[in-house]
Structure 1
Amino acid sequence: MKRVIITGPTGTIGIALIQKLISENIEVTAVCHVGSQRISRIPLSPLVKIVECSLSELGTLPSLLNGQYEVFYHFGWDGTFGNSRNNMHGQNLNVKYTLDAVEVASLLGCHTFIGAGSQAEYGRFEGKLSAQTPTNPENGYGIAKLCAGQMSRILCSQKNIKHIWTRILSVYGPFDGDKTMVMSTIGKLLNHERPEFTKGEQQWDYLFSEDVALAMYLLGEKGISGKIYCIGGGTVSPLSKYIETIKDNIDKNAELGLGDVPYGEKQVMYLCADITDLQEDVGFSPQFTFEEGIRKTIDWYKQNM
């Protein structure tokens, strides 16, 4: 890889991937929403070019760019939190934007298209998640991600582009949204507030953003066309243990409201990625323990939030 494009580059995964690609001396074109307030997050480097282009206008990208590219990372997606996940018309547009991204990738000479899917494509499942696990999404977001992956695979085949779809589990790290469990807990503990949780009995798989970036980089280099890769750490711990680790790295004496919040009707109680294909196909293995990653995340939060 020498030149890549990334849509949705200002989230925790996008920023970590840009940093990884810079370290590998790879040119990056970061495609951001017009007027995005998060553009300032993107690392400054001679290797990075920022282009403002909304998802609805992706078809204009070829006229804004010069030269050929090799890999197209499509992370851009509207409506990832709260009620927007069940905005059916909005989620349906995301499928169109994904197909638009494939068309643009073809016009720019890309040989590989990598899409960011989600654990939400599976719904609730008690067991390790792999490409072979049955999919049963329970919200519009998961349905749209599943459809986007399937339809973009067919379109890539028609365009003779290598297609790789990822299903990303729970990620944490710098630049993550402040409403996630990890970031909201860090914020409340630093503000000397008492965060509230369920009992935290859920068995969960968390992966640090820099490890996700490593996986994405390796997939761009060695991923196998047509495959679906689950991205996670491959191991689980009780959610309460992660929460205790966050607390111990901020204030060992802080009070936690474990058990204050009842479980939701559709609460997922087990979430873990089977990363066998990632290990065998591209040589991926996580480089950070949760404690190492959370220390870096807390340090970033203190400096930036």
Structure 2
Amino acid sequence: MRTLHRAIVTGATGAVGTALVRVLAERDIAVTVLCRPGSVRRENIPQHPRVRVCFADLTRLREAAVELDDSCDAFFHLAWTGTVGAARNDMFQQNKNVEYALEAVELAASLGCKIFVGAGSQAEYGRVEGKLCADTPVFPENGYGIAKLCAGQMTRIACAQKGIQHVWARILSVYGPYDNPNSMVMSGISALLRGECPRYTPGEQEWDYLYSEDAAQALLLMAEKGKSGMVYPLGSGQTQRLKNYIAAIRDAVNPALPVALGALPYPENQVMYLCADISSLTQDVGFRPRVSFEEGIQKTVDWAKGR
């Protein structure tokens, strides 16, 4: 088991990043967050005596070493640009993300990090049937998925060259406070809180959702106990039909509110089943999700009401 005293986190302003910073700090691990100068979401970073913020652009990560005079044990690289919409197929932008990930390895090496944990994506797999495992064949269908796959492979080799251990998490659907406002979960919560009727497909898809705090706990466990060179699919390991998730979201806001299931057609090439096989993750690091979807959604709704 690796003992962590100090950690670096990039991409700390979203659902997973904010939860990870909080989990690390509560474990008495000193956290340095690398945040883009001028980031409109920098206020999302948890305030804690064990957390400090260093402003560093992704394009100049190696230069951050000048300000980071302490050695570090773990580097969590979650930052990524172009994660939604047309930007996912902006090949030049996605290719830059691979460069940024390699720059993160260079910075991790200069700080003496023992372990590099990178945030991959289900998009690396493309369209597959059955549960997603580490050895499931990968056929990504967009620039985002291709770049995530490339970043995972290249950072693994770069880390080996630098003597750093490497773990790659292929993250499925995570929800929680500070999630993307356009996600299915957050857009539904926002619409219901405004008294609107959100519109959905028939909702027969079977998906795997994981609460952000559980995802953060998994990333910490990977840093402490993960096998170097491993790819770990990260989800709850269980599915429900999308319409059941939608009902839980509605019930957490107000059970009397309507939702419009079937108001939208399924998109072309809709993925109907998505689930992580977390058996290797459980076996290697002891991870088991602790927060049910209903509990996590209630926490997320309560957070959204307080915004």
* Match status 1:107 vs 2:110: yes
* 1:48 CA drift (Å): 0.7
Identity %: 53
| 1:85-129 per-position Cα deviation (integer Å, ceiling 9, x unaligned) | 000000000000000100110011001101000000011111100
User: What is the match of residue 264 of structure 2?
Assistant: 261
AA of the residue aligned to 1:55: L
Secondary structure at the aligned position of 2:306 is classed as helix
Aligned match of 1:298: 301
Distance 1:200 1:43 in 2: 34
The whole-number CA distance in structure 2 between the counterparts of 1:144 and 1:294 is 31
Aligned to 1:66: 69
Partner in structure 2 of residue 228 of structure 1: 231
Which of 78, 102, 111 is matched with 1:75 structurally?
A: 78
**What CA distance in whole angstroms lies between the structure 2 residues aligned with 1:222 and 1:6?**
18
Compute the displacement of 1:214 (Å).
0.5
The aligned residue for residue 198 of structure 1 is: 201
CA drift at 1:254: 1.3
Tell me what 2:172 maps to: 169
In 2, Cα distance between equivalents of 1:42 and 1:91:
25
**Equivalent residue pairs, number:** 304
> Of the candidates 78, 87, 91, which is equivalent to residue 88 of structure 1?
91
- Counterparts of 1:287 and 1:222, CA distance in 2: 19
- 1:214 matched to which residue of 2? 217
The DSSP-based 3-state class of the residue aligned with 1:129 is coil
In the TM superposition, residue 298 of structure 1 has moved relative to its aligned partner by 0.1
The alignment's TM-score, normalised by the length of structure 1, stands at 0.99
Which of 5, 17, 32 is 1:14 aligned to? 17
Structure 2: stretches of 5+ with no match in the other structure: none
Instruction: Say which SS state the counterpart of residue 52 (structure 2) adopts.
Output: strand
Structure 1: give runs of 5+ residues left out of the alignment: none
Query: Hey, what's the Cα distance between the residues in 2 that align with 1:120 and 1:201?
Result: 20
- List 4+ stretches of structure 1 deviating above 2 A: none
Q: Does 89-98 or 258-267 show the bigger shift?
A: 258-267
* Alignment match, 2:39: 36
1:284 aligns with 2:284: no
Give the aligned partner of residue 251 of structure 2. 248
For 2:34, what is the secondary structure of its paired residue?
Answer: strand
For 1:51, give the aligned amino acid.
C
* 2:40 pairs with 1:2: no
Residues of 1 paired with 2:128 and 2:213: CA distance?
Answer: 27
Classify the secondary structure of the residue corresponding to 1:249: helix
Distance 1:95 1:250 in 2: 40
Listed one character per residue, the Cα deviations across residues 238-259 of structure 1 (whole Å, up to 9, x for unaligned) are: 0000000111111212111111
Q: Any idea what SS the aligned residue of 2:135 has?
A: coil
- Let me know the Cα RMSD of the aligned residues: 0.7
